[in-house]
Amino acid sequence: MKRTWGWIAAAVVGSAGLIAVTALPARALLASGCGLGSMVIEKNHKVGQVASATLNGSFGTQTFGISTGTSGCTTDGTLMGEREQQAFAEANLQNLEHDMASGGGEYLSAFSTLLGCDPKLTSQVASFAQQNYSSTFPTENTSASDALASFKGALASNDTFANGCTKL
Amino acid sequence: MRTVLRALAVVLVLMPWLPLATSRADSALDAYADQLVSLARADQLATSREWRVLGHYRESALGGWKSEVDASAFFLATEGKTDPAAELDATLRAFVADGFDLDLSAEGGGPEPSRCRFPARFAWLDERLHFDPEMLPHAPCARFDHWRESLDADSATMIFASAYGNNPSSMFGHTLLRLNRASEGTSADLLAYAVNYAALPTTENPVLYTILGMSGGFPGYFATLPYYLKVQEYADMEDRDLWEYRLRFDRPAMDRMVRHLWELGHAWFDYYYLSENCSYHLLAVLEAADPSLHLIDQFPDWVIPADTVRAVVETPGLVVASRFRPSRFRTMVALRERLTPAEIELAERLADPAGPDVASALAGVDPIRAAAVLDAAYELVRYRAERSPMTAASGRERQLLRARGALGVPAQPADVPAPPAPEIAHGSAAVTVGGGSGTRGAFGDVFVRGALHDLLDPTDGYLPGTQIEMFGFELRAFGEEAPAFELERAFLARIVSLAPVDPWVVRPSWHLTVGFDRVRENACAGWDCVYGGVAGGAGIALGWDRAIPGFGYTFADLDSGVGAPFRDRYRLSAGASIGTVLQPLDPLRVQLEAGYLFPFLGVERPDSISDGGEHGVDFRLQGGAAWSLTHDVELRAEALRLRGAWESSLALRFYL
């Protein structure tokens, strides 16, 4: 019954030319690191109104399928502990950067947690991040890995954070 | 010599008995398996609610049970998909057969033992049958345990992604689940894992993509991925608001859910966009956590994600709290609202990649205000960068952030007001019953619409200025004529997207209708007046909030028709239309529209044109008013004036 409904709908939709045809979202290939930075799909907003909305062509279904085994930074769909920081920095680079420049925000707080910092230090981490923004992101092309490394280095050379953050 | 011969004799005598000794251990296991199977039969476990939920069995049309899972790896019995009892027996036997096997699957050392592949089944059957730990031990499952620990699921939240501008079909929404960890706070939420069901398309061809997606041509899989990836996809890239509903699931319920999710890791379902979609299978996961919930039963046919949110919210006690997470677009607008007109202009200049040097443009501006301007400018650049690779490459964002960092002003997050929640939206299906009068006399009218929302329906919970109607037909009966009912119109889709012009976001508005209509001039009656076609248009819209909130729009239109009323069986027209949608009072919405279509290819048959000329010229003037009587009932008045026909009607619309 479902299949019949589906076929009827599909035949009518397909033949009615409801779809505005332009490029389908390009799925980027895994690059270096965890490849999550390059997983940002370029969605063309004119793609088939009916088609794209909720087929949810899976941002990540292949990488994060449950029990898919180990690949890149994931095991069976969850991030490997030691890669969590890298994955987060890559996937959320813009938001994290924004929070650092602004001296606060939920991405920076989440990042602080990933660095193993005591929750009481969160606002200090935020101000520290703001003060160090220019050295964390020195050029237009600073990558997630570079920023991650220099920020962690800066934290480690500060006594408060060296003691308060366990995963530097 | 004699000792050797004696030893040989003993061995020869014992030898036939040795296989028997090991098979006695086997037969002890077989006997135990038989015992479990009969116990299960005696307790009728195969017909229990819990077993049906774990197997995703639904009653099939022919009276039996059929599982919705389409992957054969999900079943241990060959006929497992259609025989829950056989599946249960096979599950018990498999558990006993490899009960002592170690789980070496993580290191690639062989397949998972069945107790590890199906931890939910194991836990439930153990609870009901009390496995003997000597025959069926609770041996560890390394791979499942590691996964479970990574998830660290303490509670669950249902997430609903609502509609975004200029994409009317996004009003159907999308749902996913988030597995919250024990720690509180929105930053902890970002780090939690989300559970998402989605199709894995095997083609990039847009036509095939649509057809296969609707008819079960793609497999659908469950994935667990960091929630921050989903926030980025929906709130950032797609400008969708996220509504988060925290569910009342205690630790045992979460254990059941997580175990079953692992089982689903080996499964896939044929993906049907209209029915077995993301929201449908998510409900199945909720039922696995708490089998006393009956959510799927409420959706026997098609499933609209927004409807599943309503079903969950309306289940007593299931939702304990809700939270609104605004889209990036909404945040940008809120940041702009904080600025004075001069500051808005400054922000626009700063957002321009070819604009002034940031530091000098902000010289002399109070740091707190400068921070507010930079916040808004940054959002604007990001918004544009998502849509324009050139802007993205300019690096302007980082220049703005450098200035922001240098200011040293702490974060000033925008206060974004939440729009009406999706659960208060009117029902997705509607039946309208009424009557009226026109050129052909008095008539009674019935209009049935599968989904979803038009410009006169109550806006709460929907995107203002956006209409998407799918699968509708209207029948009309005229008092003094036969046949009894006539097809007035039918459509596959009627879509209108009014995107009000915004200084920071300029998008075209558009409309599209695919379906059947009839020629109304000359009191045309019968099937000969019906034609099918596609009509559409593009244009602009303005929106306003003050005085009487509403929209004004104008379109350039194209109309195509194929059918009996046309001399050459086709007609192509072009023209324009102008209209307005207003909300003068809270329960009252009014729409007025005027249009003109000039047929430039193909004409109506001479006997159906009222003015006797070669080319029919179609003026159209129509109006409608809708008054919400209750949440589920609306009163509608409509009037239509064409060159050669007129009608007006009054009706009651019931939302289902």
Can you tell me the ipTM of this complex?
Answer: 0.83
Q: Is there a single domain that holds both residue B468 and residue B610?
A: yes
Q: Identify which has the larger pLDDT, B390 or B578.
A: B578
Contacts of A77 in chain B (CB under 8 A): 147, 223-225, 265
> Does residue A152 sit in the same domain as residue A126?
yes
Do residues B206 and B319 both lie within one domain? yes
State mean pLDDT over A79-96.
85
Q: Name the residue facing A92 among B232, B387, B514 (closest C-beta).
A: B232
User: B613 — alpha (psi -120 to 50), left (phi > 0) or beta?
Assistant: beta
How would you label B42-69 residue by residue, b for 16+ Cβ within 10 Å and e otherwise? eeebbebebbbbbbbbeeeeeeebbbbb
Choose, out of A8, A61, A120, the residue to mutate when testing the contact with B (most B CBs < 10 Å): A61
Percent of chain B with pLDDT over 70: 94
Peptide bond into B419 cis (omega under 30): no
Q: What is the pLDDT of residue B441?
A: 87
- pLDDT single digits (tens) B452-475: 999 999 999 998 999 999 999 999
**B contacts of A99 (beta carbons < 8 Å):** 411
- Contact between B314 and B298 under an 8 Å Cβ cutoff? The reply is no
Residues of B in contact with A146 (CB under 8 A): none
Q: Is B473 on the interface with A (CB under 8 A)?
A: no
In whole angstroms, what is the distance from residue A27 CA to residue A22 CA? 15
Q: Is residue B272 part of a domain?
A: yes
Phi/psi for B280 (5° steps) reads -60, -50
What b/e readout covers B612-638, taking b as 16+ CB neighbours within 10 angstroms? eeeebebeeebbbbbbbeeeeebbbbb
Strand (E) or helix (H) holding B442? strand B441-453
Tokens representing B543 are 């929106």
* Together in a domain, B353 and B301: no
By C-alpha distance, the chain B residue nearest A53 is B170
Q: Look up tokens 């009222």; give the residue.
A: B610
CB distance A53 to B167 below 8 Å: yes
Residue A40: predicted pLDDT = 44
Which chain A residue has its CA at the smallest distance from B395's CA?
A140
Tell me: do B310 and B382 sit in the same domain. Answer: no
Contacts by B422-425, CB closer than 8 A, 24 or more apart: B422/B160, B422/B162, B422/B173, B422/B243, B422/B306, B422/B309, B422/B310, B422/B461, B423/B309, B423/B310, B423/B313, B423/B314, B423/B461, B424/B460, B424/B461, B424/B631, B425/B306, B425/B310, B425/B453, B425/B458, B425/B460, B425/B461, B425/B462
Q: Which domain holds residue A105?
A: 92-164
Q: Residue A99 pLDDT more than 70?
A: yes
Is B532 in the same domain as B639?
Answer: yes
Q: What gap in Å lies between CA A78 and CA A71, rounded to an integer?
A: 10
Q: By the 8 A CB rule, do B187 and B180 touch?
A: no
Amino acid at B293: L
Residues 288-327 of B with CB under 8 A from A: 301-302, 305
Best CA proximity match to B323, nearest among A106, A21, A132, A23: A106
Burial of B599 (0-12, 13-18, 19+ CB in 10 A): buried
pLDDT band at B317 (very low <50, low <70, confident <90, very high): very high
Give alpha helix (H) positions in chain A: 2-16, 49-55, 61-64, 84-91, 93-102, 106-114, 122-131, 133-136, 144-156, 159-164
Confidence grade of residue A33 (pLDDT, cut at 50, 70, 90): low
| Domain count within chain B | 4
Are B72 and B212 members of one domain? no
Question: Total domain count for chain A?
Answer: 2
Closest B-chain CA to A68: B265
Say whether both B294 and B344 belong to one domain: no
pLDDT in the model for residue B385: 85
Tens-digit pLDDT profile for residues B26-41: 788 889 999 999 999 9
Tell me how close the Cα of A30 comes to any Cα of chain B, in angstroms: 15
User: Residue B18 domain-assigned?
Assistant: no
Asked if B348 and B375 sit in the same domain, the reply is: yes
Same domain, B353 and B487: no
Last residue of a domain, one of A49, A79, A109: A79
Same domain for A145 and A115: yes
- Residues of chain A positioned with their CB less than 8 A from the CB of B277: 54
Question: Is residue A127 situated within a structural domain?
Answer: yes
Question: CA nearest B236 in A: which residue?
Answer: A95
Bridge pairing between strands A70-71 and A74-75: antiparallel
Among B268, B272, B262, B281, which Cα is nearest to B219's? B268
B430 φ, ψ (degrees, to nearest 5): -145, 145
Q: Please state the separation of Cα B295 from the chain's center in Å.
A: 16
- Interface probe with A: pick from B118, B177, B205, B211, most Cβ of A within 10 Å: B211
Which residues of chain A make contact with B237, given a CB cutoff of 8 A? 40-41, 43
Q: Is A51 in Cβ contact with B206 (below 8 Å)?
A: yes
Statement to judge: residues B311 and B333 lie in one domain = no
In a domain, B403, yes or no: yes
pLDDT band for B185, please (50, 70, 90 cuts): confident
% of chain A residues with pLDDT over 90: 36
Q: Do residue A68 and residue A98 come from a single domain?
A: no
Residue B420 in any domain: the answer is: no
Which positions in chain A touch B173 (Cβ < 8 Å)?
54
- The residue count for chain B: 656
A64 in any annotated domain: yes
Q: Are residues B459 and B514 in the same domain?
A: yes
Taking the Cβ of residue B411 and every Cβ of chain A, the question of whether any pair is shorter than 8 Å is answered with yes
pLDDT for A55: 45
Cα–Cα distance for residue pair B308/B318, rounded to 1 Å? 13
Whether residue A28 is found in the same domain as residue A66:
yes
A74 and A51 assigned to the same domain: yes
Query: Which amino acid is residue B522, in one-letter code?
Result: N
Beta carbons of A51 and B274 less than 8 Å apart: no
Task: From chain B, pick out residues whose CB is under 8 angstroms from the CB of A81.
Answer: 150
- Tell whether A107 and A155 lie within a shared domain: yes
Whether the CB-CB separation of A152 and A132 falls below 8 Å is answered with no
* B359 and B457 both lie in a single domain: no
Q: Average pLDDT over chain B, rounded to whole?
A: 88
Global pTM reads 0.85
Domain CATH code at residue B573: 2.40.160.40
B612 pLDDT higher than 50: no
- Residue B4 included in any domain: no
- The answer to whether residue A16 scores a pLDDT higher than 60 is no
pLDDT digits (tens, 9 = 90+) for B9-63: 666 766 665 555 556 677 888 899 999 999 999 999 999 999 999 999 998 888 8
| B528 located within any domain | yes
Q: What is the pLDDT of residue A52?
A: 40
Closest in B168, B212, B412 to A49, CB measured: B168
Bridge-based pairing state of the strands B218-226 and B242-247: unpaired
End-to-end CA distance of chain A: 57
pLDDT tens per residue, range B158-174? 999 988 878 888 888 89
Please check whether residues A111 and A52 belong to one and the same domain.
no
Question: Which DSSP helix (H) or strand (E) runs through B288?
Answer: helix B278-289
Q: Is the predicted pLDDT of residue B586 greater than 70, yes or no? A: yes
What are the contacts of A31-35 at 24+ separation with CB within 8 A?
A: A32/A145, A33/A73, A33/A86, A33/A90, A33/A144, A33/A145, A34/A72, A34/A73, A34/A79, A34/A83, A34/A86, A34/A87, A34/A90, A34/A91, A35/A63, A35/A72, A35/A73, A35/A90
Using alpha carbons, select from B27, B45, B49 the residue that is nearest to residue B37.
B45
- Which burial class, exposed, middle or buried, applies to A27 when counting CB atoms under 10 A from its CB (0-12, 13-18, 19+)? middle
In this structure, the answer to whether residues A101 and A160 fall within a common structural domain is: yes
* B261, B202 Cβ separation under 8 angstroms: no
Contact B162/B243 with Cβ under 8 angstroms? yes
Query: Is residue A1 assigned to a domain?
Result: no
Inter-chain contact B492–A16, Cβ cutoff 8 Å?
A: yes
Q: Which domain holds residue B433?
A: 425-655
Residues of B in contact with A103 (CB under 8 A): 405, 408-411
Query: Looking at B424-433, B477-486, B521-530, which range is the least confident one?
Result: B477-486
